[in-house]
Amino acid sequence: MRKLIRSPLTWMIVAEFVVVGALLVLAWNAVGTAARQAVALPGIATPEAAPEDTSLADLPSATSQASRGPLPALNLSPAFWRERLAELNRDEAWAVAIQWRVIHSGMDAARAYLETVVLPAIRRAEVGLS
């Protein structure tokens, strides 16, 4: 047991757990903050702020709306939707490219860390224990 506590590998593993745990806590807080901000946007009425009188008499009926045509601001033009979807696909491709770069940079950094720091330390520890 004493050898295990004195081993540098044990302390490196403990340090890695601490770093990963700290990163998880940071990510959890960032996601929670973003979720709270998304819910509490200004200008959006919450259920508590809604008026008490919610009568449906003021709303037009579905049959009268269908006879008048499409709803306001609903563009049914194929050219409009083609342009919007092309823009969306372009933005999505850009986001995927950024994610790809971030993931591969992280993988390269982890690989370099393992090869330059962890493996030499393990080799030195194994030589010292022999």
- The pLDDT profile of the chain, 130 residues, written as one tens digit per residue, is 777 778 888 889 999 999 999 999 999 998 888 777 766 555 555 455 555 555 545 555 555 545 666 566 677 788 888 888 898 899 999 999 999 999 999 999 999 999 999 999 999 988 877 6
Residue 62 lies in a domain: no
Same domain, residue pair 83 and 34 = no
Question: Is 70 within 8 Å of 76 (Cβ atoms)?
Answer: yes
What residues make up the domain containing 15? 1-38
3-state DSSP assignment of residue 11 = helix
Which has the closest alpha carbon to 120: 15, 9, 5, 18?
A: 9
Residue 122 lies in a domain: yes
pTM above 0.95, yes or no: no
Separation of alpha carbons 115 and 71, rounded Å: 62
Separation of alpha carbons 124 and 130, rounded Å: 10
